[in-house]
Structure 1
Amino acid sequence: MSGTRAFSRIASALLVVACAAPPRTAARTAPPSSTPIVIAHRGASGHRPEHTLAAYDLAIAMGADFVEPDLVRTKDGVLVARHENEIGGTTDVARRFPQRRTTKTVDGATVTGWFAEDFTLAELKTLRATERLPFRSHAYDGQEPVPTFDEVLALVERRARETGRRIGVYPETKHPSYFRALGLPLEEPLVAALRAHGLDRRDAPVFVQSFEASSLQRLRGLTRVPLVQLMDATAAYAAMTTPAGLAAVRRYADAIGVEKGMVQPVGADGSLGTPTSLVSDAHAAGLAVHVWTLRSDSAFLPRGYAGDPAAEWRRLAALGVDGIFGDYPDVGVRALRERKQRPDR
């Protein structure tokens, strides 16, 4: 998930329904037997550099139900896993290709750096991933290459076979309108890759997500897998969170993926506010609810959870969400298992 929402994403959201205020009434809690899926956000990205095979593999070993690759395309049209098309913050590209630094306008925002679409796959494969956040371990920097989407799918397929578990993939189309304007659309090759791995089925362990409604609407005509409309807490997505907006989203999507504060508000001082009705409203519209992103780091954990990252997982599960994205899937797997075994927690 991105902390920045650019103009085309906002415009795409506003096409769905007219503006209205988001729901703010209290939500009911879910029974302990209702266990959300654990979605490894960019892999086990709290433990390894994000969007690497090592991060995805570790997440699977920790028991995650799904791994999440964000997808962009290379100059020669290959889908690769990066959180953004700007790759300067997550690879050693600045050292290897200093002359490729440039400035672009991406979805209405001016961005300076190095961009996946300016490199062939062969060039990207010379790069090595680095940890994005300064306060996380950098012990694994420089070890892992940038993976292709096909490599991610192959890893998941192999690990599912080895473990006997049903392991899913949860790709996101990143800046899809921008890439389509470059002649490098994301949706068609994404579906082709799923089909090549036998995953273009309604019952496949796959969700495809996007902030852009137009990308999901295009995908709806290409694939049968469940689709997820992403939203953040900005006014641009407020119309989507009303009952009428959710009903409109349901016409092309199967779930919503929302910023966690849209379900469990947090005050400026880090205290927990009154839960909203978004989960029950979405369920009434026939939509599942997945929330993002839980992080155990003290810089991200709200004060209301008293330093216990597992408490945040348990709280959102109690509010009835159907899936939770987290950088530390081991924390989520353990917290949800304990909640099911000990309903009093």
Structure 2
Amino acid sequence: MTRESLPAGFRPRQPAPADLIAWPADFGTRFVVFVDVEEEFDWARPLSRDNRSVEAVAALPGAHARFAAAGVPLALMIDDPVATDARAIDLIAPLLTGGSVAGAQLHPWVTPPFDEELSPRNSFVGNLPRDQEAAKIDALTDAIAAAFGTRPTAYRAGRYGIGPATFELLAERGYRLDSSMRPGFDYAHEGGPDFSAFGNHAFRIGSLIELPSTTVFTGLARGVGKGLYRAAGRVPKGRGLLARTGLLQRIPLTPEGIPIAEALEAIRVAVGEGVRVLNFAFHSPSLTPGHTPYVRDDGDLATFWAWWDRVLAELDRLGVRPCGLAELIDAAG
């Protein structure tokens, strides 16, 4: 089967027990915070190659200072419009201290070369032919290295769009960690990958560390969460009914669209289930009102920061300590 004829819904191989990372005992339970540092665009409109404004990056130094004051380093996952904007580079470069690092986040629709048709399916870079995916990874990697003087070693595919060749391409280019998998989510209906059967534990894919974005099932039926949630998706309003009755909810660890009470419960469940690294994430345009559906005005921004205050306090109460990516990679061995 050729790459072009692959069916929609790439399903990565499940990790074997031996692939799961055995963290050192003294590593404890940790958390990381990823920021998808990217251009602004209207999330309700079709993707465009012309969306290259990065004005919201101006809010990133203030956000970095708030996290740094709490001892939390940031993994700044930078895409091409940011990595090639002189003002954005000047704003971000001083932030790469204290464990904060620049990683790569690939939005194929704004990352050269533009040899592919602009389409929903091709917005998942792993759907492209291998040479096209490789060329985009190279362009983004080189742009970040030129901007900040260091080649990135952590990667995230925009829209979580990995494919059959992605991990080999990353390993060939010296990447050490990928964070493109989103457990409990299935993008096959859009032509993207299916992560619905994956868990939250970090594991190895060859020489790479895969650190999934933490997603927790809560509720009375969470013990059968993955299967029940998939089945409910085939019933009109089935997942909403599960949530309203308290049987089952799918909670990603993000301030974007997740109420604080649900997030705190998800954190407690994840820690109770033995997840050793909790992976939080948000988009940099959410730091300025009006750029994402989650932060539309100043009130939403205040709620965003109050969410983080409560979450960081709960993590501290539970003894879950922050971790930078370099420290995490070293601990993985």
- Under a length normalisation based on structure 1, what TM-score does the superposition of the two structures give? 0.43
